[in-house]
Amino acid sequence: MATGAVAALRNMKVAGNSKSLEEARARVFDFFKLACRSLPSVMDIYNLDDVVTRSQLRSAIASQIRKNSHVTNTKVIDMLLFKGMEELGNIVEHHKQRHHIIGQYVLGKDGILQDLSPKDEGSSDFLKNFYSGNYF
């Protein structure tokens, strides 16, 4: 299953514009499935088995997709899909390192901020915004 997904990623071509919202929607689901099917190999590559479960990562992918659920412009959806595909390709081809994956998908965006100790509570909002804005 995993190797099949990786091969599918390799052979991935940039699709043309979606003609309707329905088509774009179907593409999003296809992308989600492809991402889910490549999870086993991703967990192998980055040794994620002891930090996170596959279903947690699946939910992380879903929440990333859901973040853009308000978008109705098909061109924007296509662009987001392209970026997602690029990200997935980078992850599967090991162009990232373990802490990238952990920081971004295991801890999530709030992860670094949650880990602050109590004495950091008074730290400036500017820095917090900087961290969260600069983290992608």
Partner 1 sequence: MALRAAVLRHIRVPVQTLGLKSNPRAPSGSIRLMSSHDDHLSKEEVADRVLSVVKSFPKVDPSRVTPEVHFQKDLGLDSLDSVEIVMALEEEFKLEIPDKEADKIDSCNLAIEYIHNHPLAS
What residue ranges bind partner 1 (CB under 8 A)? 1, 4, 29-30, 32-33, 36-37, 54-55, 58-59, 62, 65-66, 69
Q: Judged by CB, which is closer to partner 1: 37, or 128?
A: 37
Q: Looking up tokens 């939910």, which residue turns up?
A: 59
Q: Judged by CB, which is closer to partner 1: 25, or 100?
A: 25
Residue type, 40: P
Q: Judged by CB, which is closer to partner 1: 61, or 102?
A: 61
Beta carbon of residue 125, minimum distance to partner 1 (angstroms, whole number): 30
Q: Looking up tokens 């600069």, which residue turns up?
A: 134
Which among 62, 61, 64, 47 has a CA at the least distance from the CA of 99? 47
Beta carbon of residue 65, minimum distance to partner 1 (angstroms, whole number): 6
Q: Looking up tokens 């099917």, which residue turns up?
A: 37
Residue 85 in tokens: 């595909």
